[in-house]
Chain A
Amino acid sequence: AQSVTQPDIHITVSEGASLELRCNYSYGATPYLFWYVQSPGQGLQLLLKYFSGDTLVQGIKGFEAEFKRSQSSFNLRKPSVHWSDAAEYFCAVGARAAGNKLTFGGGTRVLVKP
């Protein structure tokens, strides 16, 4: 069975500082990995995805993530945070063998200090 853990429930970062959100997954085969962002009361917006190939993937809004198979991790990073990045971030794992259903982590809420 697939599972995703996001160890940090809340993270507070100053505007302009770097951000790293952690994600660990459990899945027997090569997973499909995603990061989504959710603003309050809104749906989920896809930030980036990993299916195969280059383990460092670039996404929208200046985000990137690195797939590390040996650590079963897919951490999200941004070099310089903007106030508009305050939101909840979800890591998700999917797999064709599982009918492409997504299993989500519990989310990390990011607060940005001025």
Chain B
Amino acid sequence: ETGVTQSPTHLIKTRGQQVTLRCSSQSGHNTVSWYQQALGQGPQFIFQYYREEENGRGNFPPRFSGLQFPNYSSELNVNALELDDSALYLCASSPPTGTGSFEQYFGPGTRLTVT
């Protein structure tokens, strides 16, 4: 069974640029959530995708957007990058709610540095 994978591992961008981060969910999982973890802090919820639709959003501006594909993989797009966007971006997948499981399984993250 393959776990959650994310690409790239590290990324350096310049302020004002745009970035796309990718996530492949764990086999059998149909829900993907994205989190931002700034240095020294706990992860913060960005949004969640279920059946290719946004299914909940945290306190992040519209320049943070996402997609989910029919195979349940997902992308996180950030436009007009700001220095404060420098963080570890974590993707998590979770199994169908009908299974009675509500836990989320995390990938290794993408470290984004904005200069």
Contact = CB atoms under 8 A, between A and B. Distances in A.
A101 B48 CA distance: 7
A107 B37 CA distance: 11
Interface in B37-70: 41-45, 48, 55-56, 58
Interface in A69-114: 90, 92, 94, 96, 98-107
A28 interface: no
Contacts of B107: 43
A98 B45 CA distance: 11
Contact of B41 (A32, A94, A107): A107
Contacts of A43: 4, 90, 106-109
A107 B35 CA distance: 15
Indicate the member of B41, B42, B90, B94 with the most A CB atoms within 10 Å.
B42
Contact of A44 (B43, B56, B111): B43
B115 interface: no
B105 A46 contact: yes
Contacts of B97: 96, 100
A32 B102 contact: yes
Interface of B: 4, 31, 33, 35, 41-45, 48, 55-56, 58, 90, 92, 94, 97, 102-109, 111
Interface of A: 4, 32, 34, 36, 41-46, 49, 51, 90, 92, 94, 96, 98-107
Given A42-B109, A99-B55, 8 more contacts: A42-B108, A43-B109, A101-B45, A101-B58, A102-B35, A102-B92, A104-B35, A106-B42
